[in-house]
Chain A
Amino acid sequence: MSLSANDKATVKALWAKISPKAEDVGNEALSRMLYVYPQTKTYFSHWSDLTPGSAPVRKHGKKVIGGIGLAVEKIDDLFAGLLTLSELHAFQLRVDPANFRILSHNILVVLAMLFPDDFTPEAHLAMDKFLARVALALSDKYR
């Protein structure tokens, strides 16, 4: 399910719209992932506070959404563009890739909440495809 030129244009346009609130999106998505899918908390046992909107969650949400922003920039070659991040996730973090889908779902829910008029069915399609592709690129170095 590769990204068409239209998908890429749609993702970039949507990203431009949401960029001013990127940090909020990151915080909300990560907060919901940890709260609604508590099994994901197992990766963050070293944090002092895993509750929605806490300082460590907000800080990490910013990092994660920054990674997605990077992926938008590298949308024409995600595998090359996300190589370092893939190595990080494969060898150091060793996050089970099933969790990428959970985070992606929460990103979509938050986009729908905060940008209901922009998150049209077409934008939803493009974003879902894009995030799936990002997950694939992130898991590329796993084995």
Chain B
Amino acid sequence: MVQWKAEERAAIQAVFAKLDYESVGRETLTRLLVVYPWTRRYFGGFGNLFNSEAIMANPKVAAHGIVVLRGLEMALKNMDDIKNTYASLSELHSEKLQVDPGNFQLLGDCLTVVIATRMRTEFTPDIQAAWQKFLAVVVSALRKQYN
């Protein structure tokens, strides 16, 4: 089981406390689709994803950004058992959505970049360390049901 120090829990809470889900969600998904364009394969029903302006303005991208952050919030609320909390999400991504799990890392990286633009120097090495650990646990839990 993952062990969390008090400072790590506080750091993750601090990151979430400042997160504007709408703005951060939209920008994170935009960056994923722009920087790693092969990820567009999973969003065939989203309409126009041809360039960054279109992606940024796409209402389905915005809506889905919020869905993703709400999903992460579940991990925040259940930090001591992310693995089981994510069991059905993992199954969803592997069985139904059939997302290559390598992409979870890419999305996590994009989210980290966006958080860095919002928090700026408040995104200290300590907070980044806790945050990257949190993301690693989340990604690992999402990969669990793949076989």
Contact = CB atoms under 8 A, between A and B. Distances in A.
A121 B112 CA distance: 13
A36 B128 CA distance: 7
Contact of A125 (B35, B112, B114, B128): B35
For chain B, give the interface size range.
20 to 34
B129 A35 contact: yes
A109 B35 contact: no
A20 interface: no
Nearest to A110: B116
Contacts of B128: 32, 35-36, 109
A44 to B, nearest CB: 16
Contacts of A31: 125
Interface in A109-126: 109-110, 112-114, 116, 119-122, 124-125
B123 A113 contact: yes
Contacts, number: 57
A81 interface: no
B88 interface: no
Given A116-B117, A116-B120, A121 B35 contact: yes
| Chain A, interface SS category | helix
A124 B35 contact: yes
Contact of A52 (B112, B121, B125): B125
Interface string A99-141: 0000001001110111010011110110010000000000000
Contacts of A121: 27, 30-31, 34-35, 52, 56
Contacts of A108: 109, 113
B117 A125 contact: no
Given A108-B109, A112-B113, 9 more contacts: A36-B128, A105-B112, A109-B123, A112-B116, A113-B120, A113-B121, A121-B52, A124-B31, A125-B34
19 contacts: A35-B125, A35-B128, A36-B128, A37-B132, A52-B125, A109-B113, A109-B116, A112-B113, A112-B114, A113-B116, A113-B117, A113-B123, A116-B118, A120-B52, A121-B34, A121-B35, A121-B56, A125-B34, A125-B35
Interface of A: 31-32, 35-37, 52, 105, 108-110, 112-114, 116, 119-122, 124-125, 128
